[in-house]
Structure 1
Amino acid sequence: MRRPRWRTVGGALIRVVAVWAVSTLTMLLLAGVLPDFRLQSADGESTTRVAIAAALGAGAFGLLSALVWPVLVRALLLVPAFVLGLLVFFLNGSLLLIALRLVPVGNGAAEPETAVVVAAAMSAASSATSTFLAVRDDGAYRRRLARLADRRRRRRGAEGGPRTTPGTVFLQLDGVGHDVLREALRPRTGAGGRRRPPLMETVAGWAAESHRLTPWRTDWSSQTGASQLGILHGSNEDVPAFRWYEKETGEVLVSGRPAGAAELQRRAVARTRDGGLLSADGASRGNLFSGGADQLALVLSVAARRGRHNRSRSGYFAYFSDPANATRTAVSYLAEVFREIGQSTRAKLRREHPRLGRGGLYPFVRAFATVVERDVVVAAVIGDILSGRTAVYADLVGYDEVAHHSGPRGRDTHQVLRGLDRAIKLIAKVTEHAPRPYRLVLLSDHGQSPGETFAARYGLTLEELVRTGRAPGAGREPVVLASGNLGLVSFPDLPGRASRELIEERHPGLLGTLADHPGIGFLLVRSERHGPVVLGPGGAEHRLDTGEGAADSPLRALGPGAEEAVRRTAGFPHTADIMVNSAYDPATGAVHAFEEQIGSHGGLGGEQGRPFLLWPKELSAPVGEGEELVGAERVHRVLRRWLREAGGPQVPVGRIPVHRGVVDESLPMGDLPAPFAVGDPGMLDKTQ
């Protein structure tokens, strides 16, 4: 039964008045307790005039936030993304000072630093009030979601009523290994033997009831560039590492930079002659690559393009154009900065080992990954679901960033896993209001292996070790690069792929110095006589083409699949002259990163090469009984098959607290229902 229009309008008016009243009371309270904030002249004013001044000031601040804030946010797109959280506070405070100037009664004034505090408090109070009212009226909330979904379908030209064919949302939990996830799904034991829920309670429920969990094995290059390119575009051929030197251009290609990601995507599309996993009505959110989607936000491969819908930061504009979203995320951002400072200080005082220095800009980079990027990506996915898009692929990067600096397991990463679970729960809740049923698939692109850095353990970097094995003045300096515990050594003055024989002729002691070092597990070189050869300590030599030396191969300690992965990489055109994999301890799972990371990935050894796939039971199994899912390209084929498998029930989920959410510039913030526009105040103290 359709609700009378007068009741709808009346309900909206009541909510506006309630939010205004709360903002007014908040301003009055702050004026009473903050010495540098006042709503009256020095001679004093009557209580009535002060109350009127507060009401007018709150109203002016609300209007300025609604009208001016989107323009300010567009200007913010020109600054580095990780400083957005700080600028939000200062700009919000500036709007409050302007609002006080516009009030015709009283004589309101505030010091600039106090205005920042007052503006943040008022935004948070209005956000909490609006959310509370919307959530309390569950029927109205559901009707608003239904209207929003219907409006968005009309904008996209959808025909008819709700669609019965399920859509699919792929959520990539960056860096979360299979074993780490399984631990996060188990009940925990607290003090006194008290049973505590799993870290990821929502996902644990899925794994027990509606989903199945399986590991898969990465390629040798166990990092996001190789894995996500293979998953989204079906080919990660000739991606030997996260970064590598290309002799024909004399440049280093880095998959984590816009130009590098765009070039890798171009090569993959040219190789497969296919747009990608998301070509049919898809959306790509927070990824390195587009997957062929026509809806993009925070996608690195298009970051350098010009155009309204191709800018990687358009998602930031859509999200932060609402001042309540901006304030909430900014508060969480600063809380995360201080949390990181506290955690790093505690690690230092406890003399935890291994440990990295975590000063400088890192607290702000971490807060950006675990709060800002998470909020924007989740909001974009919510918008996609309400639009009824067929396929959505989104990357949540917070765990990977924290695990690099804190290690794959521990209190720091546990907080991130809890936050990821809340984000997943929230997205699942939104599917109840979507114009079509949705299947939710969780996966990761790689895991992380712990271990002390190579430099910390042995007192020199890989580049310094390479120099010690070369005669002074023996040609141009080699290009030495690192990708986790995978190192690459290229000689710019040796044309093409330098052979083992030529390297030994030019640099007689180099290969022996590297292979015999205790921090190095094995080398891969190309022999003119024997093809690809794996070298290990004590003269071990495994000729991959013939299998000679396999019994004593250093690859045996790395488990099944290592030889296959190394052989595949050996055939890449841009594989380095010398590929270096760090030592691996099977007893502890530890590796030694050639970068400053105590949780690393990029090479072979341990959990970094064992990510996970969690899929709804109604979908077909990824592989047959007893088979192993190997390689990102094969994962791509599995996901494509699932997109073809139409029909089946919606994933069952429980009740989930509402949260903020918008998508990109195609959806003005004014179209969002209040719970998504202003967020859940209960989550302010639950950021990772």
Structure 2
Amino acid sequence: MRVGWRGLGATLLRVGAVWAVSTLTMLLLAGALPDFRLQSADGDSATVIGITAASGAGAFGLLSALVWPVLVRALLLVPALVLGLLVFFLNGSLLWLALSLIPYGRGTADPTTAVVVAAAMSAASSATSGFLAVHDDGAYRRRLARIAGRRRRREGRAELPDTPGVVFLQLDGLGYGVLRDALEPSGGAPPLMPVVAAMCGSSHRLTPWRTDWSSQTGASQLGILHGSTEDVPAFRWYEKETGEVMVSNRPTSAVELQRRAVERTGDKGLLALDGASRGNLFTGGAAQVALVLSTSARRGKETRSRAGYFAYFSDPANATRTAVSFVAEVAREMWQSTRALARRERPRVGRGGLYPFVRAFATVVERDVVVAAVLGDILSGRTAVYADLVGYDEVAHHSGPRGRDTHQVLRRLDRSVALIAKVAERAPRPYRLVLLSDHGQSEGETFEGAYGLTLEDLVRAGCGLRVPRRARRTVSGCEARAAARAALHRPEPEDPATDAAGAPRRGTGPVVLASGNLGLVSFPDEPGRTSRERIEALRPALLRTLAEHPGIGFVLVESEEHGPVVLGRGGGERRLATGEVVGADPLEPFGPGTARAVLRTARFPNAPDIMVNSSVDPETGAVHAFEEQIGSHGGLGGEQSHPFLLSPLELSPPTEEPGAPLVGAEDVHRVLRRWLDECAAPRPGVAVPHFDADEVSGTESVSGRESGAGPEPEPAVSASRIGTPTSRR
């Protein structure tokens, strides 16, 4: 009982400290802002002004604790970007209401000033609460125990096992080579990612792995979480049976891909046993999901696409901090894009329109919400958690995988890892922290930027179809159209896609799609897989046009005689079924394992009629994306096919033989399953944190830290303790 009273007293002291800081902040702002006052027009004594400030701070704190969660829940149907912008208005409205509750009407502020004052007070109270929590180890441990116990009781899990749980944290798009560079000091400066650098070699091992041909999140994450990448040829592709374009990050497509994978494997997924999926494309079989695309169309308390936002934005301090960071990130992107334009940096793509807001959402809002959800899972003792942080991948597409802009994102990712590791050390059960990526990124000038026409323009020109005037003026476009007219015996330009009246004809043009530097061409009017012989009969110049283009590395097509065949420049050809090579091998510049990856994709039922991979610079690894991306992934070439796996030394090595390659997301799935099985097996002599019943009693304060809903001040992490059972005593 004495422990309970001591805990209650410490809680009251913390509440008093936060109240005092909020009062002081309000007094300082009243003196600095002309449109904000805490006294009557005739003036008041210092005592009255102080009482007015304390009353306003107390009323604002109570409203934030009681009214704010209701407002956020009511706004869950509002798009996340709009909700982020509404935070300022809602917070300012609560302050205005709090001032109206002060006796004698002494507190007043115009609407704009109320927003500023509310943001400052929320930030001050959050910082104070976090500072006190960090420096009160016992209180922090007791709060973690209360939260974990409450969540377990709500879910019907009174006791947690003594075995370790596992947190899989995916750093989307971060390649093995880029990570290695980020872990090394440069020019006397510390590493870009000091926490991860301290982990590597001391408590964790770093292992590269190689993706399949389709080096993108849709295929890799489906394979990692559900154990199958079968029939996923690219990020987007055309399916002739349904006449639909499948797009990995489209909710309806994600649902269908997950259904097919579960049907194919007969298994729900990696996270089926007491798992949580956060910020992913697929659930992995987890019952607890937040911001998971394949469940975004559902309606339910646990599966609603925005359910994860409530746990985070229900704390006004979290909402304010994230909203301020969101605005700052938008401004940062505008400044960085303007600087790149002024310096005429190459390669470069357009970064205007909505992109600054998309970047801010990925690097701030989604990061904060996903990290908060992971912290909540750790505090409640979840057995397996898989979360995806997408900020690096988003910025690298537009700024390059090794640009100054992406360096800033890497530093912030390192702080997120530090926060998760710190909380894992205090969790109610041991945890193993595994970092991994789903693919890398390869830099290079876009195909259109380098050659003046898109892949679709080149395909249409090779088919003898009409192309935009800008494409006809390029060397590639002129040569392709001339070759097509000659092959088709059409001396004059003609467009088979239009009838005599100039109206478009249905189904006469090919469907051309792009996934990074991987292109897919399908002929909707041709049933099944269109063979090389049929394509050459219909479009005699097309395959030669594609294979001979300097920006294209190789072309895959199905031959009636030889099966899947890879075509390259100068008549080079590789027959994948037999391994026979005619002339120069088109796959040689892409390294070992390429033929296996291409052959596997060629056998997919929904493989397109023609698959096109851009060329690669063998020295720099540069490729040409068929999309507007200077950092791209989706095909072969460069660093995009080489992600990483950073695993605790307590777990078995990823491969049985040292140095043996780890190939494909399906292999990674099997490794992660093996690690979960190892953690599930009881290990004698492992110290597990224990909390007495007396420590669970007491009053719980309202803060983002306690609810597992937001970042705390950056902790100091001893990397040698991360993932070790003795670090949780």
TM-score, structure 1 as length reference: 0.92
| Residue number among 318, 321, 324 corresponding to 1:325 in the alignment | 318
Judge conservation of contact 2:269–2:285 (CA < 8 Å) in 1: yes
1:642-688 deviations in Å (ceiling 9; x for gaps)? 11113569999xxxxxxxxxxxxxxx9948655955643569xxxxx
CA distance in 2, matches of 1:238, 1:525: 16
Matched AA of 1:644:
D
Distance in structure 2 (CA, Å) of the matches to 1:366 and 1:672: 24
CA distance in 1, matches of 2:710, 2:619: 49
Structure 1 residues 130 and 230 mapped into 2: Cα distance closer, same or farther (>3 Å)? same
Residues 167/682 of structure 1: CA separation in 2 closer, same or farther (3 Å cut):
closer
Q: Deviations over 1:556-611 (max 9, x none)?
A: 11000111010000011111111111111111110000111100000000100000
What code does the residue aligned with 1:458 have?
Y
Distance 1:563 1:176 in 2: 25
1:393 aligns with 386
Between the aligned partners of 1:48 and 1:572, the Cα distance in structure 2 is 78
2:521 to 482, 489, 503: 489
Are the equivalent residues in 1 in contact too, given 2:147–2:707 (CA < 8 A)?
Answer: no
Match of 2:549 in 1: 517
1:663 corresponds to? none
1:600 aligns with 2:632: yes
User: Aligned to 1:209, what secondary structure does the other structure show?
Assistant: coil
Q: Taking structure 1 as reference, are residues 648 and 351 closer, same or farther at Cα in structure 2, changes over 3 Å only?
A: farther
Match of 2:671 in 1: 638
| Alignment partner, residue 228 of structure 2 | 235
CA contact (8 A) 2:330 2:357 kept: yes
For 2:182, the aligned partner's letter is A
Contact 2:515 2:627 in 1 (8 A): yes
Residue of structure 2 in register with 1:611 after alignment: 643
The aligned counterpart of 2:407 is: 414
| 1:366-377 paired onto structure 2 within 5 Å | 366-377=359-370
Q: Which residue of 2 aligns with 1:292?
A: 285
1:619, 1:130 → 2: CA distance?
A: 36
Distance 1:651 1:398 in 2: 36
Deviation at 1:555, TM superposition (A): 0.7
SS at 2:104's partner residue?
coil
- Over 3 Å counting, the alpha-carbon distance change for 1:175 and 1:677 in structure 2 is closer
Tell me, yes or no, if structure 1 residue 80 matches structure 2 residue 83: no
Matched AA of 2:355? Y
What is the CA-CA distance between 1:49 and the residue it aligns to? 3.3
Deviations 1:19-74 (A, max 9, x none): 12211221121111112222234443443333332222222211221122112212
Instruction: Give the partner amino acid of 2:73.
Output: R
**Residue 344 of structure 2 is aligned to residue 351 of structure 1:** yes
Tell me the SS of whatever aligns to 1:584.
coil
Other structure's SS at 2:241 match: coil
C-alpha deviation, 1:224, in angstroms: 0.2
Structure-2 residue corresponding to 1:312: 305
Residues 159/54 of structure 1: CA separation in 2 closer, same or farther (3 Å cut): closer
Q: Which residue of 2 aligns with 1:265?
A: 258
Cα distance in 1 between the residues matched to 2:7 and 2:282: 43
C-alpha displacement of 1:157? 2.7
CA 1:271–1:650: 2 relative to 1, 3 Å: farther
Work out the CA distance in 1 between the residues paired with 2:686 and 2:533: 58
CA contact (8 A) 1:50 1:106 kept: no
Query: In the alignment, which residue of structure 2 is the partner of 1:33?
Result: 32
CA separation in 2, counterparts of 1:383 and 1:106?
41
Q: 1:527 aligns with which of 521, 546, 559?
A: 559
Deviations 1:408-439 (A, max 9, x none): 00221111111111111111111222222111
What secondary structure does 1:417 align onto?
helix
Residue type of the partner of 1:245? Y
**Letter in structure 1 aligned against 2:126:** S
**Range 549-558 or range 503-512, more displaced:** 549-558
SS in 2 for 1:394: strand
> Residue 76 of structure 1: CA displacement?
2.8
Is the Cα contact below 8 Å between 2:225 and 2:669 reproduced in 1?
Answer: yes
The answer for the alignment partner of 1:23 in structure 2 is 22
Could you tell me which residue of structure 1 aligns to residue 162 of structure 2? 164
- Residue in structure 1 matched with residue 249 of structure 2 by the alignment: 256
Q: Is the 8 A contact 1:166 1:648 kept in 2?
A: no
| Shift in CA distance, 319/411, structure 1 to aligned 2, threshold 3 Å | same
In structure 2, C-alpha distance between the alignment counterparts of 1:350 and 1:496, rounded to whole Å: 50
The alignment-based identity, stated in percent, is 74
1:627 is aligned to 2:660 = yes
User: How far apart, in 2, do the equivalents of 1:253 and 1:577 lie?
Assistant: 16
- Per the TM alignment, residue 449 of structure 1 is displaced from its structure 2 partner at its CA by 0.2
Amino acid at match of 1:631: G
Alpha-carbon distance between aligned partners in 2 of 1:441 and 1:128, rounded to the nearest angstrom: 29
Equivalence map 1:92-131=2 (5 Å): 92-131=91-130
Q: Distance in 1 between matches of 2:103 and 2:552?
A: 73
Q: What amino acid does structure 2 have at the position aligned with 1:221?
A: S
Change (3 A) 1:672 1:86: closer
State the TM-score, normalizing by the size of structure 2. Answer: 0.87
**DSSP-derived class of the 1:591 partner:** coil
Q: Which residue of 2 aligns with 1:585?
A: 617
What is the Cα deviation at residue 6 of structure 1?
A: 2.5
1:536 matched to 2:542: no
Query: 1:78 is aligned with what amino acid?
Result: L
3-state SS of paired residue (2:627):
coil
**1:291-337 alpha-carbon deviations (Å, 9 max, x no partner):** 00111011110011111111121011111011111111112212211
SS in 2 for 1:545: coil
- CA distance in structure 1 between the partners assigned to 2:683 and 2:329 by the alignment: 40
Separation in 1 of the partners of 2:167 and 2:686?
A: 11
Where 2:546 maps in the other structure, the secondary structure is: helix
Larger Rg: 2
2:424 to 426, 431, 434: 431
**Distance in 1 separating the partners of 2:705 and 2:393:** 32
1:5 Cα shift?
2.6
Which one-letter code corresponds to 1:146 in the other structure? A
- 1:659-670 aligned at under 5 Å gives the runs 670=702
- Give the 3-state SS of the residue equivalent to 1:105 in structure 2: helix
Q: Write the letter of the residue equivalent to 2:80.
A: A
**Amino acid paired to 1:51:** G
Change (3 A) 1:503 1:649: farther
Deviation of 1:551 (Å): 6.1
1:355–1:406 CA contact under 8 A, matched in 2: yes
Backbone CA RMSD of aligned residues: 2.1
Are 1:166 and 1:650, in contact at CA under 8 Å, matched by a contact in 2? no
What is the distance in 2 between the residues matched to 1:57 and 1:550? 82
Tell me which moved more, 101-110 or 55-64. 101-110
Question: Counterparts of 1:635 and 1:680 in 2: how far apart (Å)?
Answer: 32
Which residue does the alignment assign to 1:557? 589
1:222 has 2:255 as partner? no
Partner SS for 2:130: helix
Alignment deviations for residues 323-379 of structure 1 (CA, whole Å, 9 cap, x no partner): 111111112212211121221122122221111221211111111111111111111
3-state SS of 2:613 partner: strand
> In the alignment, which residue of structure 2 is the partner of 1:473?
496
Equivalent residues of 2:27, 2:53 under 8 A apart: yes
**Structure 1, 219-228 or 484-493: larger mean CA deviation:** 484-493
- Equivalent AA in structure 2 for residue 362 of structure 1: Y
User: Structure 2: how far apart are the matches of 1:473 and 1:650?
Assistant: 76
**Amino acid of the residue matched to residue 712 of structure 2?**
D
Q: Which moved more, 1:72-81 or 1:368-377?
A: 72-81
Distance apart, 1:495 and its partner CA: 1.2
Partner of 2:697: none
Q: Give 3-state SS (helix, strand or coil) of 2:200's partner.
A: helix
For residues 103-132 of structure 1, the C-alpha deviation after alignment (integer angstroms, 9 at most, x for no partner) is: 222333222222111110010011111112
Contact 1:584 1:605 in 2 (8 A): yes
What corresponds to 1:655 in structure 2? Answer: none
